[in-house]
Structure formats: C-alpha cells, structure tokens
C-alpha cells in the first residue's frame, strides 16, 4: 500500500514537473534575485556589494521623484480602472440580447483587447491625440477649440487613461458571461412586482455580478499599478512628469541610471503595495460580494 502511494506521488510530480520547473526558473528565481539585488548597489553590468536596506532608506528619505510618481500612478489607477469597468459593464448589458448579428458586435468590441496596449497601438494613440491629430481635427469640424491632449499636465494623464479604457474587451466578455448566467426567473418575478429597469438592475443584476466585478477589479488594479507602455510611448512621462508612472521610474533607474539594485528596491516596494491593496480588497469582499453559496469555502 505504501509503495503504491509513493508511486502515485512520483507520477504526480512527473506530471507537474514542467510547470514546477517553469515556475522555479522563470518566476521564483527572478523574484528571489531581484530581492537580493535590492539589497546591493548593483549596476546593469555588474553585481555590487551588499548594502542592506540602504536603497530602501534612500528611496523613502531622499528620492524626490518616488512619492510624486506613486501619486501619479494612484491617480491614473483611480481614473482608468472605474471608467474601464463601467464602460465594459455598459457594453455587456447592451450586447446581452438575442439577435442573429449580436455575435458580430461582440467580436468587434473585443478586437481592441486582442490588439492590446502594444507599442504600435500606443504610437497610433499618440498620432490621434497630437495637436494636429484626428481628434482635434474632428473637434475643429464641430466648431470646438482643440485641446492639448499630450502637452497639458492637467489633461495628459486622462489621455493615456483612455488608451487603457479602450481595451475593455476582456472585462466586457466576463461581464457578458455573468449576465448570461443570471436566471431569467428573477427578472420575470421583478416584472410581476412592477420593478423598472433601473430597480431591476440595482436589485438583481448588479448584486449577482459582484463576483465578476470583484475579479475584474482586482485584475485591472494590478495591471494599472504596473502600467508602463502607454506612459513611455505616448508621453514619455511628461509633460512636467504629469504621467511619470512608477513603472517608468523603475525603467529609468534600471536602464538609464544603470542602478539595477535601486530599481529592484523600487520594484519590491511596488510589489508590496500591490499585495497590500489586493489583501484589502479580498478582506472587504465579504461585505459587498454576493456568492450563491454564501462564500463558503
């Protein structure tokens, strides 16, 4: 019996070994090494000496860019994530109808997520919102004054936030799947009780979508706090560092200042901050996320 159990365990290890090797080689090892580098004065080309927590002390006490960069990142997150989720939910509700051509609309709306926030799309965004770009040309035809979308510090962060909102397809598909899973009997009962559309949405649809809303919120927050491509390609952190996200600061420290140890310390602070936000969200989910089984494990 003991040999049989051992044999089953060995077969199990054999089957999970590809994932285990990938995890150890491509995730755990880089994570562990980045923490080690954060405790050294390593540069991009050589491993430095062990300096303990000096990088972290310097980051919180001397770095003039760190806190402004975190403030910009939080502002970007608080702008982009709610707009993206609200827009994805709105489109999902509109597409939750039975029609022969509805699958075409669903595919079209999902296309931006396939393209993603690649460098090419970010460059396209830059051309669209430049002073002589398509957006200002359309405003001019409507008789409206142009906007300095990329040069005005008060507008630039909103402009790159729109690039993230444009990729709402994945969240929309998840919301749509959740809407399809809501029993129609609940809507029939609401009609019998005389509930209107907004009342039905607030009392039935939204509570039953909270598990999907929670998942989308966690994933989008994590993604927004790590955003890099849009700020790098569209505005390069400007104007006046109004779009200088923390991801851009990590890049600058590692590849422009050549301070890999210091960049690793910034990365670990960001990682711990994301971990803290995620734990708070999970802790608060008991109060506002509705599970059919009551959230029992």
Q: For residue 100, what pLDDT is reported? A: 72
Burial class of residue 61 in the structure, from the number of CB atoms within 10 Å of its CB (0-12 exposed, 13-18 middle, 19+ buried): exposed
To which residue do tokens 């919102």 refer? 129
Dig out the tokens for 69 from the structure: 């960069």
Do 85 and 171 touch, CB atoms closer than 8 A? yes
Do 238 and 156 touch, CB atoms closer than 8 A? yes
pLDDT, tens digit (0-9, with 9 covering 90-100), for 226-268: 999 888 988 888 888 999 999 999 999 999 999 999 999 999 9
User: Taking Cα atoms as reference points, which of 70, 35, 32 lies closest to residue 55?
Assistant: 35
pLDDT, tens digit (0-9, with 9 covering 90-100), for 143-166: 888 899 998 999 999 998 988 888
Q: For residue 238, what pLDDT is reported? A: 84
pLDDT, tens digit (0-9, with 9 covering 90-100), for 63-101: 999 999 999 999 999 999 999 999 999 989 988 877 777
User: Taking Cα atoms as reference points, which of 80, 83, 62, 60 lies closest to residue 70?
Assistant: 60
Do 279 and 216 touch, CB atoms closer than 8 A? no
User: Taking Cα atoms as reference points, which of 127, 206, 213, 115 lies closest to residue 164?
Assistant: 115
For helices 156-165 and 119-129, angle between their N-to-C axes, nearest 10 degrees = 130
Q: For residue 163, what pLDDT is reported? A: 84
Q: For residue 114, what pLDDT is reported? A: 66
Is 12 a residue whose pLDDT tops 90?
A: no
């Amino acid at each position: 019996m003991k040999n049989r159990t051992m044999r089953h365990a060995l077969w199990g290890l054999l089957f999970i070994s590809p994932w285990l090797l990938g995890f150890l080689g491509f995730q755990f090892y880089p994570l562990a090494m980045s923490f080690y580098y954060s405790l050294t004065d390593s540069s991009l080309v050589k491993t430095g000496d062990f300096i303990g927590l000096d990088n972290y002390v310097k980051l919180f006490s001397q770095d003039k860019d760190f806190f402004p960069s975190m403030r910009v990142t939080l502002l970007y997150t608080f702008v982009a994530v709610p707009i993206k989720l609200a827009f994805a939910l709105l489109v999902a509700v509109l597409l939750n109808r039975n029609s022969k051509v509805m699958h075409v609309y669903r595919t079209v709306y999902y296309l931006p997520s396939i393209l993603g926030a690649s460098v090419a799309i970010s460059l396209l965004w830059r051309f669209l919102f430049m002073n002589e770009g398509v957006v200002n040309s359309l405003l001019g035809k409507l008789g409206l004054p142009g906007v300095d979308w990329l040069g005005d510090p008060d507008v630039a962060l909103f402009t790159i936030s729109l690039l993230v909102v444009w990729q709402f397809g994945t969240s929309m598909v998840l919301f749509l799947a959740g809407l399809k899973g809501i029993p129609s009997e609940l809507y029939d009962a609401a009609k019998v009780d005389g509930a209107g559309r907004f009342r039905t949405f607030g009392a039935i649809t939204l509570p039953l979508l909270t598990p999907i809303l929670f998942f989308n919120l966690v994933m989008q927050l994590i993604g927004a706090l790590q955003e890099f491509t849009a700020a790098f390609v569209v505005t390069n952190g400007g104007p006046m560092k109004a779009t200088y996200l923390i991801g851009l600061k990590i890049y600058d420290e590692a590849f422009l200042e050549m301070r890999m140890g210091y960049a690793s310390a910034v990365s670990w602070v960001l990682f711990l901050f994301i971990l803290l936000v995620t734990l708070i969200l999970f802790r608060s989910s008991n109060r506002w996320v509705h599970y059919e089984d009551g959230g029992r494990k």
